[in-house]
Amino acid sequence: MYSGKNLVCHECKKLFLFSEEEQMFFAQKGFTNLPKRCANCRLTARLRRNGDNLEKLHDTNCHKCGAVATVPFEPNGLRPVYCRACYMDVRAEADTVKTSATA
């Protein structure tokens, strides 16, 4: 039913993927508009809105695909850090394994 869509971020003007999982999430929440910002710009905007310090943000490379991801913590190298899209994939895989283990 859903397929990934490439969108342009209004903040940084870069191309980002509006994944199938994100589209399903938007549909479940009843959101009708497409996202205007990429995940990194959404995080930055949310932190600004909440009055958080933007100096807390750290750029790192995704453990799975190598894309640059901005995270609100300093990675210590002990655990993998994923971009939003890869994190959603890893989380879906974990949920599938968890569900099949209980069945």
Q: Which segments of 3-83 does DSSP mark as H helices, in order?
A: 20-29, 39-49
Confidence of residue 56 (pLDDT cuts 50, 70, 90): confident
Question: Do residues 72 and 66 lie in contact, with contact meaning Cβ atoms separated by under 8 Å?
Answer: no
The pLDDT of residue 88 is 84
| pLDDT > 80? residue 60 | yes
Confidence band for 20, pLDDT divided at 50, 70 and 90: confident
What residues does each domain of the chain span? 5-102
At 70-84, the pLDDT tens digits run 888 889 989 999 988
Tokens of 21: 């999982």
Query: Can you tell me the mean pLDDT for 38-62?
Result: 84
Partners of 15 in the beta sheet? Answer: 8
Q: What is the pLDDT of residue 6?
A: 93
Residue 65 pLDDT > 80:
yes
- Maximum CA pair distance of the chain? 45
| Of residues 12, 16, 91, 14, the one with CA closest to residue 4 | 16
- The tokens for 72 are 């609100």
In this prediction, residue 35 carries a pLDDT of 92
Four-residue CA torsion sign, 50, 21, 95, 29: positive
